[in-house]
Structure 1
Amino acid sequence: MPCFNGYRYCGPNCSGPGAPINQLDAICRQHDACYRKFGHYYCDQVFLNQVRPYINQRSQIGRDARTMYRAINLKRSF
């Protein structure tokens, strides 16, 4: 699966290059670094907590946040 459209750090095996394009991309980069140190369960919960405030229908970043939130939540259910 490729990076989330337009993002550098959001999605499986997405690790840049360059600076994150926005705050949501920065959260994804932090999530990747967290995985390496603490594993999936803890880091996924931190990610969900950080992304939740961005979720809304009125902006593209808000819609992207909703999609990423749902994807991580779905992954956690297995």
Structure 2
Amino acid sequence: LTVIDDELTEGHELGSGLIGKAQGYYVSSSIDGKSQTMAFTVMFLHGSYMDSLSFMGVHRSAVAESQLAVMGGTGKY
């Protein structure tokens, strides 16, 4: 089990403006460790967004792309 508690910023650069947080968890869900079941909420805390989105799904690290479902949200999302 790995806990997610990360800041979200406007860009990749150091010092880029904070716009929110991502909080949740993921669990290794395959014997080979290449799949993780994830559940997390993205909370936009600043600017014109001020809402949240909740995600759940399986991230497959061995492939170029994975899909997670948007399970809900608040406000305009």
Q: Tell me which interval the TM-score lies in, with the shorter structure as reference length.
A: under 0.3
TM-score, normalised with respect to structure 2:
0.24
Report which of the two has the higher share of helix. 1
> Which structure ranks higher in relative contact order (CA pairs < 8 Å, sequence separation ≥ 6)?
2
Report which of the two has the higher share of strand. 2
TM-score, normalised with respect to structure 1:
0.24
